[in-house]
Chain A
Amino acid sequence: AQSVAQPEDQVNVAEGNPLTVKCTYSVSGNPYLFWYVQYPNRGLQFLLKYITGDNLVKGSYGFEAEFNKSQTSFHLKKPSALVSDSALYFCAVRDIDRDKIIFGKGTRLHILP
């Protein structure tokens, strides 16, 4: 079965510094990969997706993600972190059963002022 792993439960970054939230995947076939963000007491919000094409995907709120096939990774990045970026971030993959989206366990991002 397809799966994603987020190796870090929590990431701390100083405001203004670049941030990276890591995600690795295991799929058979071509991966459909996603990043979602969850703010406190809210549902998840879609940030960006990779289906095919350019390995650097740009999304909402200045976030981008880099698809790396050789390393089976899809890390989320932002050049300059904001305190308001503090939230829970989920990486997801579309399962081989195409109607199922599998989420990682989430990484809590803390941006320190």
Chain B
Amino acid sequence: DSGVTQTPKHLITATGQRVTLRCSPRSGDLSVYWYQQSLDQGLQFLIQYYNGEERAKGNILERFSAQQFPDLHSELNLSSLELGDSALYFCASSSLSSGANVLTFGAGSRLTVL
């Protein structure tokens, strides 16, 4: 157990729907990262939050949004889902005090869009 908790582990939904993926970072970590892993695109950085504030943005679609709450858990919202959104979504956390951004990953949420 890495200490980073992601729910749900698996999610099957239909095109056009909206889903929310949840992440609880490792205790003491203030920073949360979201990544999308697909077979053809590899591991793509989506977005990062630090202590509730957005710090970095990657290739995140406008249909996707995220936030980090005061208790430091984070949610990734995916809307108007398309078949191509089917992927494994990872959350990772880090303690930036480490100075080198070592990430601790959760086990991922596998999203299947039918």
Contact = CB atoms under 8 A, between A and B. Distances in A.
Contacts of B48: 99-100
Given A99-B50, A103-B42, A45 B56 contact: no
Interface string A74-102: 00000000000000001000110111111
B interface, how many residues as a size bin? Answer: 20 to 34
B4 interface: yes
Contacts, number: 60
Interface of B: 2, 4, 31, 33, 35, 42-43, 45, 48, 50, 55-56, 58, 90, 92, 96, 99-108
Classify the secondary structure of A's interface with B.
Answer: loop
Interface in A27-76: 32, 34, 36, 41-46, 49, 51
A interface, how many residues as a size bin? Answer: 20 to 34
Interface of A: 32, 34, 36, 41-46, 49, 51, 90, 94-95, 97-106
Closest 5 pairs (CB-CB, A-B): A43-B105, A105-B42, A99-B56, A103-B43, A100-B56
B103 A101 contact: yes
Contact of A44 (B58, B99, B101, B103): B103
A43 B90 contact: yes
